[in-house]
Amino acid sequence: MFGLLIFWCAVAGLVGLMADKRGRSGFGWTLIAAALTPMVAVALLYLLPDKSDDWTATIEITVVEMTGGSDE
């Protein structure tokens, strides 16, 4: 039984890491995953839009490539 609790907490922590990469509160999503089930938390997390700023670099690179200009 103790092993199941450790596993549950570890998977909830992984959900928190996934949330952090998507620009969300890792600690908050860890608590959500621990209170509900980690699978439900992952489903909810992926239903919400990604709030990380990684997409802005992709847009800048695409615009530069399309216009043929340089980034200088």
Q: What tokens appear for 68 in the block?
A: 């043929």
Asked whether residue 17 is assigned to any structural domain, the reply reads yes
Per residue in 51-60, pLDDT tens? 876 555 555 5
> Which distant-in-sequence residues (6+ apart) come within 8 Å of 33 by Cβ?
11, 12, 15, 16, 40, 41, 42
Residue 7 forms part of a structural domain? yes
The pLDDT of residue 52 is 77
Helix axis angle for 2-21 and 38-47, nearest 10°, is 10
User: Does some domain include residue 51?
Assistant: yes
The model carries a pTM of: 0.67
Q: Please indicate, yes or no, if residue 61 is contained in any of the structural domains.
A: yes
Radius of gyration of the chain (CA): 18
Residue 16 lies in a domain: yes
Amino acid at 10: A
Which pLDDT value is given to residue 7? 93
Domain count of the chain? 1
Predicted confidence (pLDDT) per residue in 7-51, tens digit: 999 999 999 999 998 889 999 999 999 999 999 999 999 998 888
Which of 62, 58, 61, 25 has the alpha carbon at shortest distance from 44? 25
Say yes or no to pLDDT of 67 above 70: no
- Identify the domain containing residue 53 by its residue range: 2-67
